[in-house]
Amino acid sequence: MSSSEITTDREKIRKWIEERQGRPAVVKGTEILRVDFQEPDESLEPVSWDRFFEIFDSRKLAFLHQDTTADGKKSRFYKFVERN
């Protein structure tokens, strides 16, 4: 069984994203955070890690993510949620 974890730790977030060949991004024209897994998606705009975490903190977000799928493969499931 796979489980999810919530974190605000910048190093954990960056490591999780980079291990999956992702990079920080926003939806073009907004401050809506996304992870760009470098698959064709014209709606995403790359941002620096500094900008990514600036938005992350200003919107008081946390990073919900899953490390592995139920069958043990590396998961790319994530979601930005409100901090409690």
> Domain-by-domain residue ranges, the chain?
4-82
| DSSP H or E segment with residue 78 | strand 78-82
Q: CA neighbours within 13 Å on the CB side: how many for 84?
A: 3
pLDDT of 63? 98
pLDDT, tens digit only, all 84 positions of the chain: 468 999 999 999 999 999 999 999 999 999 999 999 988 789 999 999 999 999 999 999 999 999 999 999 999 999 999 998
Cβ neighbors of 51 (< 8 A, separation 6 or more) are 24
pTM: 0.91
Distance (Å, rounded) from C-alpha 59 to C-alpha 73? 31
